[in-house]
Each structure stands twice: as structure tokens, then as C-alpha cells.
A and B are shown apart, each in its own frame.
Chain A
Amino acid sequence: MPRLHADYPSCQGYGNCVTGAADTFDVDDDGVVVLLRDTFAERERSRIEDAVRSCPVNALSIEAD
């Protein structure tokens, strides 16, 4: 399954990922991204990719497993 990766120091708490996929991303009390899960199913790829791509500082990426 594709695996999610977050570059935590890059995260600026813009939160577009949370708006895009609230079942996968959240921000903590300091405004840093939290991955609610590490992997996702192929059929979810389009939606998760959109959320990953919505990060203005490219702090998120998808790695093939």
C-alpha cells in the first residue's frame, strides 16, 4: 500500500491537507501536521494525492511501499 510521509520541520500549519482529507490528516495543538494513518488504499489515491498536493510548503509526500 502507498505510504504517507510528513516532513514535520517544514510544516507551517496551513492546514489545507486537513480540509482535503480530514480522515487522514490533522494538526496538533502547536499547529504541526499529524498523520492519522500511515497508509491508504489505492482506490483512495486521487483524494489523498490532492490533499498531499495542497500543502503550500510540500511537507507531505507519498512513497510506494
Chain B
Amino acid sequence: MSGQTVVIVGSSVGGVRTAKALRSQDFGGRIVLIGSDSRLPYDKPPLSKQFLAGQWDQSRLTMLTAEQADEAGIELRLGNAAEQLDLADRAVLLADGARVPFDILVVATGADARPSPWPVASGVHLVRTLDDSRGLARALATTGPVVVVGGGFIGAEVAATAHAAGRNVTIVDPLTAPIGRIVGAELGAILTGVHARHGVQTRFGVGVESVDGCEGDLRVTLTNKETLPAATVVVGIGAIPNDGWLSSSGLLIDDGVVCDEFCRAIGHPGVFAVGDVARWHHPGHQEDVRVEHWTNAAEQAACVAHNISHPNELRSYAPTEYVWSDQYDWKIQIAGRPHRAVLDRIVGDLDAERPQGAAVFGDQAGILTAAVTVNWPKALMMCRRMIGAGTTVAECLSEVESLPRLTAAPAAGG
């Protein structure tokens, strides 16, 4: 092992975690971390929350300092995008013409925000990179209405942040209950009222036809012909995996790098993929899946590092999905795949002054498969542990119901 070189392409959470986990697992070879961004690796979830709101500064986002990289023996090659993969010669070709040879390759190039299909000169923002978030924060410090296109997690978080900054906000999404994409239609219809309750307007079930104008004076025309004036428009309509640089490599690409259950590219056991760009065979779900969540990238990185360090004891990767979103005074946490399950019951009260609830989901046989909680981390942790362990929905509900609930009056300091 000690003579091997692992090259990791991508300097976000998946790539950085793989590098760190390799060292934790006593991998003694060379580790090279390549990133297109010239900045030190930084963490992305706060870009639509604490960083956008000005509560956290940039230093708090840094995932790996130059000193930490040096100490761990991780060679950083930042600000130099990987442009091609030469599998025959086992080398990555960089934008500046350099060839970086490898024994093992980890593809961790993530996903980019789906670009805005409405070209205007200025005033339309995406939220994916540090610069995106910084530019949007500047725009949110001005005045005038904000229109957020896309009611997914990023859109909802940005809307909540913009509303907290005192802006008049409208969210537009073609689905009548956008969060239903993740939590299923039934619970989605219940949770979607969070925006109106907090004074954010919604145009759900309506698409965007066009955006015209420029920063400070934009017009968003909807498919129902309504026109919304906006000083700032934010577009959060999903992400696209960064697999274009691999298109002529010979790797199997299908909306991500297609991998086996050990996260190895199909037909190429020396090539792994991790994070948003990986489409791997989930042995529990018996299907190929691609997941765009922080916790998945971190957990998958640990699995990939293990499989690189222990080629004779390969571990298959079968995680229980987990994602969170902070919107207004709601902390939404989701374990499993609720959109593929049947909602059994909601414990708690989502309409209370201090809303708290746990929605429990099962399969046709009554086995627990997913849970969604609002302001109830303890319940989520409990459900997350039970999912995949064969626990019944009834057993789970009984455990959740035995937990203490929030009281009506806020606790001191809370």
C-alpha cells in the first residue's frame, strides 16, 4: 500500500473526507487532492443559511487548512480543474496541461447548480459556491422584493434567510407542494404551509415563463401570466453532476459515475466515486442511486477510504439516507426515503406555538422505512437508528410517543 498514489479529484466534502479518512485508516501512500476552486476546501451547507445571513465568516467554513493538509500528508493542487481522464495511462490531465499519474483514482467532482434558463444581464443569483453566496448576501442587503424560483431545500432556506433580512419574499415552484419531492405528497401538503405562516408568499403549482430586466428592476412572468416585480431573483432548481470531464474517458456515465456496491466504477476497480457525482448500486434498495446530501458524501467517503485501504475486505455501501434543512424556526430532519414509503402517523403538533412533530413511514408490511421530524432531533435520532433494523412502525411510534415533548412556554434561554 505504501507505494501507491491515490489521486482525488474534487475538493469539497466528499474529496476532503476521503483524504482525511484514508489517513485515519493508516493509508501510507501518497494522497493528491485536486480542486478547480483555488480556495482552500470549504463546506457548503452554511452558504444558504448562516454564511448567507452574515452570522458566520469564511474561516468557519474551511474544511482543510494548508497546515492540516501538510500535517496529514495531503498534497493540495487547487485552482486547477481536471479536464480529462486517461484510463489506459492512469493519469488525470489538468487545465494547465499537467498530467497527474495515479494508482487509485477517486472521482469527487460533485454537482453544480442547474443554471438559470432565463438569461438577464444581472440580478439573477444561484447558490452553490462561496462567491454565489457572497454575491447574494450583498444583494439581500439592499431593498425591494425577492423572488425565489424553486421551492426545494435551497430555495426554502434562502427564502427564510431573505425574509429574516427584512425582504418581501415570494417563492415560485411548479409543484403544489415542493417539499413533497422529498417527503412525499401527503406530508408535503402539510409542511408546505410553513412559508405562509412565516409571511413568505408562495406561487406553487405555477411555472416561470420568463425573467426580464436587470438587478433592482426585474420582472418575473409566470405561466399563469401574473408578473412579479423583483429587485433580486434567486434560482434554486436543482443540481447537475460534474461528470462532463469524464465523457470520453471510457467510464460508464449515466447522470453520474455508475459504480458497484463498493463505490467502484463499473469495470474499473481502481476508480472510485464519492458524493454528488456517484451513482452506486445500493444493496439495500437494490437499485442504482445518486444522493446530493452532505451526510451521504461524508459517509460514502469513509466507505471509499476503507475499500482503498482494505482491498481484501471490501465493504458495500448501504446507508440510511439522512438530510436536514433549517427554515424559519423549523429544523426539518429526514431519515430514509419517505417519498417511497407510506405515511403512518404524525406524533406531536406542527401547528403549535412551538411546533414539534415526527412523521413515521413504513412499507406495505408495516416495517419502519423513513421518518421526518420538525424541531425534534431526539426523535429523529431514535428513528434513524431503527430504520433498516427491521423495527415495525408500531414499535417506533410507541418509542417516539414515550419521549418528552416541547412545552408551550419557551425554556429559559431557548
Query: B residues touching A (Cβ–Cβ < 8 Å)?
Result: 17, 20-21, 24-25, 43, 45, 60, 294-295, 298-299, 302, 322, 324, 326, 331, 333, 375-378, 380-381, 384-385, 403-404, 411, 414
Contact = CB atoms under 8 A, between A and B. Distances in A.
Q: From DSSP, what is the main secondary structure of chain A's interface residues? A: loop
Nearest to A54: B298
A30 interface: yes
Nearest to A18: B381
Contact of B403 (A12, A13, A16, A29): A29
A19 B20 contact: no
Contact of B331 (A13, A22, A50): A13
B20 A46 contact: no
Contacts of A22: 385
A14 B324 contact: yes
A50 B24 contact: yes
Nearest to A22: B385
A12 B378 contact: no
Contact of A31 (B295, B298, B377): B377
A15 B377 contact: yes
Contact of A19 (B43, B324, B375, B385): B385
Contacts of B377: 13-15, 27, 31
A2 interface: no
Nearest to A45: B24
Given A18-B385, A27-B377, A53-B17, 16 more contacts: A12-B331, A13-B377, A18-B381, A19-B322, A19-B385, A29-B403, A30-B414, A31-B331, A31-B378, A46-B24, A46-B25, A54-B295, A54-B299, A56-B45, A56-B295, A58-B60
A31 B376 contact: yes
Interface string A23-48: 00011111100000000000000100
Contacts of A29: 378, 403-404
A14 B295 CA distance: 10
A13 B324 CA distance: 10
A53 B381 contact: no
Nearest to B26: A46
A16 B25 CA distance: 20
Given A14-B324, A56-B45, A50 B302 contact: yes
Contacts of A56: 43, 45, 294-295
8 contacts: A12-B324, A12-B331, A15-B333, A16-B322, A19-B385, A22-B385, A27-B377, A29-B404
A14 to B, nearest CB: 6
A46 B322 CA distance: 22
Contacts of A15: 333, 377, 380-381, 384
A30 to B, nearest CB: 7
B21 A50 contact: yes
B30 to A, nearest CB: 21
Nearest to A33: B377
B302 A19 contact: no
B378 A19 contact: no
Contacts of A49: 24
B292 to A, nearest CB: 15
A59 to B, nearest CB: 12
A27 B25 contact: no
Interface-central residue, A15, A16, A19, A50, by most chain B CB under 10 Å: A15
Contacts of B298: 16, 53-54
B182 to A, nearest CB: 17
B332 to A, nearest CB: 12
B381 A27 contact: yes
A18 B45 CA distance: 20
A28 B21 contact: no
A14 B324 CA distance: 7
Nearest to B46: A57
Contacts of B43: 56
Contacts of B295: 16, 54, 56
A50 B25 CA distance: 10
Q: Which 8 A-B pairs have the closest CB atoms?
A: A13-B377, A31-B377, A15-B381, A29-B404, A18-B381, A27-B377, A46-B24, A27-B378
